[in-house]
Amino acid sequence: MTAAGDSPATPVVELRSISKRFGDVLANEGVNLSLWGGEVHGVLGENGAGKTTLMRILYGLSIPDGGEIYVDGDLAHFASPKDAIGAGIGMVTQHFALVRPMTVTENIILGRTGGAILDLDRAKDLVEEAADRYGLHVEPDRRLSDLSVGEQQRVEILKALYRECRVLILDEPTAVLTPQEIRALFATLDRLRASGMAIVFISHKLPEVMELTDRVTVLRHGKVVHTVETDEVDAAGLASWMVGRPAAPPEPRTHSEPGATALEVSDLSAVGGLDLPALSDVNFEVAAGEILGVAGVSGNGQTELAEVLSGMRKPTAGSIIADGTQIAGKGPKQVIAAGVGRIPEDRHEALVGDMSVANNLILEHLDEAGKRLILDRDRIRANALDLIERFSIKAGPDDLVKTLSGGNIQKVLLARVLVREPRVIVVSQPTRGLDIGATAYVRNELLAMRRQGAAIVLMSEDLDELLELSDRLIVLYDGRIAGRVDAAEADRDQLGLLMAGHTEVA
C-alpha cells in the first residue's frame, strides 16, 4: 500500500483502449481509464453500459478482445483473478462471490491460506485484526448463509483487503444496502482512500457518486463519454451524459383522493422456501387509487407476500379480500378472476421466452383467445398489434420474447396485466435492470393506473422508487410489518432503521 502524502507520478492502474464484444454487443469499445492511489473513481452508466464488463476485465475474470492493462506503468496480462490479485487488485462483485455454507474466516482466507494445513485459529486472529484495522465488524465463526447482505459485503471487502489490495473495485455496492449501511460503507471507503488506496465505485445513482467520488468516468454504450473531476460537474450534467440527452424531469405525482378499500389483508402468515416462517401476522389495507409501497431489505418476506397475494403460494393463516372477494388460498386463476393483476419480480419466469410476443400477450387470457380448444390466430394477432401500439412495445407480434430488451419485456408484461384493468395490482421490482427511459415509462404507467382507481401494492428494493411512487409505506422485517409510514412524511433514516429491524422508532 502506498503511503498517503506520496504523489505518485504514474497511476496505479491504467486501462488503455479496452474492447470487448459479446456477439453483436460491443460491451466495451476503446475504453481508457486511469486509477490513482488515494482517489475514489466513480464509474457511472446506465444498465448495460459496460461497467461490469470493464471491471471483470481488470480483475482477470474476462479476457478483453483488445487493449492493454498497465500496473504501475508496466504492461500486465491478467489471465485469471489470481494474476489480478497478485498485482494488488481486489474486487467486490455485484453478486457476492462467497461460499454460503462456509464461515467468514474460511471465505476470507480461501485461496490465501498461508500453508498446506489450515490453521483456522491463527487465520481467525488475522481476520479479526484486519477487521479492527479497517473498522469492518464481522464475526469470524459465523456461516455466510446466516449473514445479512451488509455483513456479507463487509466480508467481501475484508477478503480483498486481506489480500493486500491497492486497488479496490466495488460493483454497485449500495444497491442492496439500507441508508445506514451505505453511510457505514462510505466511512470505510473514506478511510481506505486516506490510506492511499485506489477505489473504483460503480453506480448508477447520481447523488452517491456526487457525494463520494473524486473523479467520475461516464460510460454509455460501452464507450467513455467523459472523465471529469466530480467537483466540476453537477448531477444533471452527469445524467445527460449517461443517457445521451438532457434528462426529462419526472412526472409530478398528482394528489388523488383514495377511494374505498380495495384490498384488505388480515393476520396473514405464510411459510417460505425451506418451510421457514416467511410472513407472520401481516395486516394492511390498500384503497382504490392508492399505492402502498413495501420496503425492506430483500429476503424479509417481500417475495412471499407477492406470491401469496397473487395466488402462487398458499398462506398458512389469514385472509385476503380483494375487491370484495376472499382470495386467500385460491389459485392464480381465481385470483386473476377476482381482479388482481401481478407483475412479478422475475420477468423471465412470467413470460415464455421461446414464444412470440403475441402468444405471450394472451397467456393469461387463453379462455378469451378462442372457442374451445382451437386458438383463434387472427384475434391473437389483432390483440397483439393493439397492445404493441398502446404500450409502445418496440417489437413485432411474431418476435420471440427472449430477443427483446429488458424494458420491452417489462412492457409486454405490463400490457398483459393492465389490459384487464385489474382493481388490485401486485408489482415487484418493476424497474430493476431497466434503463432510464424504460424506468420512467413503467413508473408513469403505474401512476396512470393509480389515477384510474387501481389499488397498487409495490414491492421494491429501490427506496427512491418507493418514495417517489407510494402514498403510504410499510416496512417488512423478518416477515413482520416493522413500521408504517406516510410517504409524504417519510424520512430515509427512519426507514433505514425500520428496514434493519428497529421497530421501536416507529
Ligand X SMILES: Nc1ncnc2c1ncn2[C@@H]1O[C@H](COP(=O)(O)OP(=O)(O)O)[C@@H](O)[C@H]1O
Find out whether 350 and 307 touch, Cβ atoms under 8 Å.
Answer: no
Q: Closest separation between CB of residue 7 and ligand X, Å?
A: 32
99 binds other proteins (CB under 8 A): yes
Residue 8 or 433 having the CB closest to ligand X: 433
For residue 385, give the C-alpha cell. 398489434
Choosing among ligand X, Mg ion, other proteins, none, which partner's interface includes residue 50 (Cβ < 5 to 8 Å by kind)?
ligand X
Residue 371 CA: distances (Å) to CA of 237, 243, 350, 367: 56, 47, 25, 8
| AA identity, residue 359 | N
- Determine the Cα–Cα distance for residues 53 and 45; give it in Å rounded to an integer: 12
Which region, judged by CB under 6 A, interacts with ligand X, from 22-30, 73-81, 142-150, 492-500?
A: 22-30
Residue 55 or 485 having the CB closest to ligand X: 55
Cell 475484508 sits on residue:
158
Choosing among other proteins, Mg ion, ligand X, none, which partner's interface includes residue 81 (Cβ < 5 to 8 Å by kind)?
other proteins
Distance of CA 93 to the CA centre of its chain: 13
- Determine the Cα–Cα distance for residues 215 and 228; give it in Å rounded to an integer: 6
- Determine the Cα–Cα distance for residues 149 and 335; give it in Å rounded to an integer: 33
Q: Which one of 16, 19, 65, 110 is in contact with other proteins (CB under 8 A)?
A: 110
Q: Which one of 38, 48, 173, 496 is in contact with ligand X (CB under 6 A)?
A: 48
Q: Which one of 2, 65, 72, 102 is in contact with other proteins (CB under 8 A)?
A: 102
Number of chain residues interacting with other proteins (CB under 8 A): 32
- Determine the Cα–Cα distance for residues 118 and 372; give it in Å rounded to an integer: 67
Q: Closest separation between CB of residue 419 and other proteins, Å?
A: 39
Residues in Cβ contact with 167 at an 8 Å cutoff, skipping those fewer than 6 apart? 12, 13, 35, 58, 88, 89, 90, 197, 198, 199, 200
Choosing among other proteins, ligand X, Mg ion, none, which partner's interface includes residue 97 (Cβ < 5 to 8 Å by kind)?
other proteins
Q: Which one of 11, 37, 42, 50 is in contact with ligand X (CB under 6 A)?
A: 50
For residue 5, give the C-alpha cell. 502524502
Residue 479 CA: distances (Å) to CA of 156, 296, 482: 27, 10, 9
Choosing among other proteins, Mg ion, ligand X, none, which partner's interface includes residue 152 (Cβ < 5 to 8 Å by kind)?
none
Q: Closest separation between CB of residue 106 and other proteins, Å?
A: 6
Q: Closest separation between CB of residue 146 and other proteins, Å?
A: 14
276 binds other proteins (CB under 8 A): no
Q: Closest separation between CB of residue 101 and other proteins, Å?
A: 6
| AA identity, residue 403 | T
Residue 94 or 256 having the CB closest to ligand X: 94
Of the chain, the end-to-end C-alpha distance in Å amounts to: 45
Q: Which one of 35, 43, 45, 52 is in contact with Mg ion (CB under 5 A)?
A: 52
Residue 276 or 373 having the CB closest to other proteins: 276
User: What three-state secondary structure class fits 162?
Assistant: helix
53 binds ligand X (CB under 6 A): yes
- Determine the Cα–Cα distance for residues 96 and 31; give it in Å rounded to an integer: 25
383 binds Mg ion (CB under 5 A): no
DSSP state of 312: S
Q: Closest separation between CB of residue 98 and other proteins, Å?
A: 5
- Determine the Cα–Cα distance for residues 384 and 401; give it in Å rounded to an integer: 13
Number of chain residues interacting with Mg ion (CB under 5 A): 1
Find out whether 419 and 372 touch, Cβ atoms under 8 Å.
Answer: no
User: Which residues make up the interface to Mg ion (CB under 5 A)?
Assistant: 52
User: Which residues make up the interface to other proteins (CB under 8 A)?
Assistant: 22, 59, 61-62, 80-82, 85, 91, 93, 95-102, 106-107, 109-113, 115-118, 159, 163, 274
User: Which residues make up the interface to ligand X (CB under 6 A)?
Assistant: 22, 25, 27, 45, 47-53
